[in-house]
């Protein structure tokens, strides 16, 4: 690493070290300048005298991570490459060809082209294997290299050579890259008995518009009840969380407020429009331990105003606000500057007295369906704004009703964590689904049976012994038969008809969604009580929808 690069890294860390100077003017025992000088001195010694060559940038990253580790778990340094990917994820857009992909048996395999993308327009299909990119082999390619070679400026062209089942020769596609909008609402449909379902993956720049459009279509299809699925939603833009809440709440409702360390730093965020979702429509909001940040703001607002029934597991508990500071090296510092509070005053953030790894790991306890339902023991009690129901703070949003996914055996968890179902589907989806000309026909009639389970068992036993790390016994496969059938049905749909079809099958088989649909009587009762109390307040002259605080 050139000396100039090292000095550039050191300058950035020096800047961070200078932040430690006391704000009250007192001289510290060791000055910030002395700290920075010591850091630079250590760096010079390591660079000149360490027994092996060192990477100054890698050491620099480690220094910053060590510095920030003394703060909270969400203050972090982002490299220039990480920043680019983070911005794409939050904006919900990038420039490329537009595919969901996975690496299966060393092949770059298309899971589904994104609707309306260049890949979709030229006719790429789920299950296609991209074996060459611009004439160079893509067999054995690594995931970061896929992005480097397929993404590119809008209007540029990339040639991909595709191996497709049933074709002896490679198919050649010249694809003109374009701006790709990645939906934050990947699917929404009617599930049963006038119940609509909408999945929200993240809160990116267009999430509010996507939810408004999706629910509008469902209302046009005749739904009278709505399931809003925020499971696995890691958050996104605060503004989008507020505007999504605005779709459900009356005007002038406090959705969330933030508080920093300085007096007067509080910022209130209110709903501003009449609700788009009819006030008479009962809502169930699904959450789990991977629902975080912006997802928790929405769930907290729906719960605090008694607008929806929260179902599932306690959420992650990320209630800290990060501000992005761009750095001269192209990276960024995400620094916690405030904390989120729900309308009732509940802090969302859970304690972080553990090390960062343990904190993040503990936040995903219910990722394993075998973990017992969450407890609200020792959490402080708060009260909802209209019905004054007890709710809990200081550790995520606790559900009104705990509903867990089915428990999985050790063998089933091993299968679920691997790519074996996807690999099996790439080989045999066509064989088992060739009789179905449309997804609707497949969805209505196809149910895997013993033949599929036996074929899957044969495939598992053909794998190297160390691939799964568990014995593939006849008994284990037999006892996991129902699980195997469900996953096979989902992956066959993925390979034949893409992500939307796979999502439809997934939700059809999801016990949490099934149980949630059975809870609408409680959601309706909640809504009726809310309307009654609001009417009483209106008649008493207290003002049904006065701004909170």
Contact status, residue 261 vs residue 229, Cβ threshold 8 Å: no
As given in the structure block, the two tokens for residue 69 are 């580790």
Q: Compute the distance between CA of residue 23 and CA of residue 2 in angstroms, rounded to an integer.
A: 36
**Interatomic CA distance for residues 236 and 246, integer angstroms:** 16
Closest CA to 110 of 133, 132, 130: 130
Picking from 140, 149, 147, 151, the residue whose alpha carbon sits closest to that of residue 108 is: 140
Catalytic residue among 199, 318, 379, 485: 318
User: What's the rounded Cα separation, in Å, for the pair 67 and 61?
Assistant: 10
CA 244, chain centre distance (Å) = 16
Distance between CA atoms of residues 114 and 109, nearest Å? 14
Give the bridge partners for 133, in sequence order: 136, 160
Decide: 87 and 182 in contact? Cβ < 8 Å: no
Give the containing element (helix H, strand E) for 219. Answer: helix 207-220
200, 267, 318, 522 from 340: Cα distances, Å? 21, 10, 9, 28
Whether residue 457 lies in the annotated active site: no
In this structure, are residues 404 and 313 in contact, taking their beta carbons and an 8 Å threshold?
Answer: yes
Contact indicator for 334, 83 with CB cutoff of 8 Å: no
Q: Please give the full DSSP string across 141-206, using - where no structure is assigned.
A: --HHHHHHHH---TT-EEEEEEE-TT-SSPEEEEEE-EEEEPPSS--EEEEETTEEEEE---B-TT
Contacting residues for 352 by C-beta, under 8 A, at least 6 apart: 72, 73, 359
Cβ atoms within 10 Å, residue 518? 9
* Residue 461 in tokens: 């036993």
Query: For 436, left (φ over 0), alpha (ψ -120 to 50), or beta?
Result: beta
Which member of 293, 344, 398, 480 is catalytic? 293
Which residue shows structure tokens 């074709």? 167
Place of tokens 């010249």: 174
Assign 27 to helix, strand or coil. coil
Of the candidates 304, 306, 366, 510, the residue annotated as catalytic is: 304
Q: Mark whether 304 is an active-site residue.
A: yes
Q: Mark whether 293 is an active-site residue.
A: yes
The residues carrying an active-site annotation are 293, 304, 318
């Amino acid at each position: 690493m050139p000396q100039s690069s090292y000095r550039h890294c050191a300058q950035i860390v020096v800047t961070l070290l200078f932040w430690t100077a006391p704000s009250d003017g007192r001289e510290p025992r060791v000055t910030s300048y002395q700290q920075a000088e010591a850091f630079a001195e250590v760096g010079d010694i390591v660079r000149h005298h360490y027994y092996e060559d060192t990477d100054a940038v890698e050491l620099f990253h480690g220094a910053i991570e060590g510095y920030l580790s003394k703060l909270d778990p969400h203050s972090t340094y982002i490299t220039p490459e990480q920043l680019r990917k983070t911005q794409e994820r939050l904006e919900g857009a990038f420039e490329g060809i537009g595919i969901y992909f996975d690496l299966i048996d060393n092949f770059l395999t298309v899971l589904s082209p994104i609707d309306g993308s260049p890949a979709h327009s030229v006719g790429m299909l789920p299950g296609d294997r991209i074996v060459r990119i611009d004439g160079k082999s893509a067999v054995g390619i690594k995931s970061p290299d896929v992005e480097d070679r397929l993404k590119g400026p809008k209007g540029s062209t990339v040639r991909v050579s595709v191996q497709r089942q049933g074709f002896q020769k490679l198919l050649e596609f010249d694809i003109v890259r374009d701006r790709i909008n990645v939906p934050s609402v990947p699917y929404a449909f009617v599930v049963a008995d006038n119940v609509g379902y909408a999945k929200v993956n993240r809160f990116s720049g267009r999430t509010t518009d996507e939810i408004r459009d999706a629910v509008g279509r469902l209302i046009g299809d005749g739904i009278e009840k709505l399931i809003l699925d925020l499971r696995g939603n890691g958050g996104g833009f605060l503004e989008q969380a507020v505007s999504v809440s605005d779709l459900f709440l009356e005007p002038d409702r406090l959705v969330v407020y933030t508080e920093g360390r300085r007096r007067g730093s509080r910022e209130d965020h209110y709903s501003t429009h009449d609700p788009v979702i009819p006030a008479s429509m009962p809502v169930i909001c699904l959450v789990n331990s991977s629902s975080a940040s912006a997802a928790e703001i929405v769930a907290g607002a729906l719960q605090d105003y008694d607008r929806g029934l929260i179902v599932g597991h306690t959420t992650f508990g990320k209630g800290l606000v990060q501000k992005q500071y761009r750095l001269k090296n192209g990276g960024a510092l995400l620094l916690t500057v405030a904390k989120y509070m729900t309308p009732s005053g509940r802090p969302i953030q859970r304690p972080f007295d553990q090390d960062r790894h343990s904190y993040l790991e503990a936040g995903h306890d219910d990722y394993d369906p075998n973990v017992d339902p969450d407890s609200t023991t020792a959490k402080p009690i708060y009260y909802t704004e209209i019905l004054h129901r007890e709710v809990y703070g200081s550790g995520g949003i606790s559900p009104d009703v705990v509903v867990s996914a089915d428990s999985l055996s050790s063998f089933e968890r091993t299968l679920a964590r691997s790519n074996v179902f996807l690999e099996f589907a790439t080989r045999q989806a066509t064989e088992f689904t060739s009789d179905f000309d449309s997804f609707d026909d497949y969805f209505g009639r196809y149910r895997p049976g013993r033949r599929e389970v036996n074929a899957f068992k044969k495939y598992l036993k053909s794998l190297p012994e160390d691939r799964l790390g568990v014995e593939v016994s006849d008994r284990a496969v037999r006892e996991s038969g129902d699980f195997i059938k469900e996953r096979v049905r989902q992956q066959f749909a993925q390979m034949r008809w893409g992500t939307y079809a796979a999502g439809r099958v997934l939700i059809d088989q999801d016990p949490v969604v099934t149980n949630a649909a059975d809870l609408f009587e409680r959601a309706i009762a909640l809504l009726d009580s809310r309307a009654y109390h609001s009417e009483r307040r209106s008649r008493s002259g207290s003002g049904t929808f006065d701004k909170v605080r």
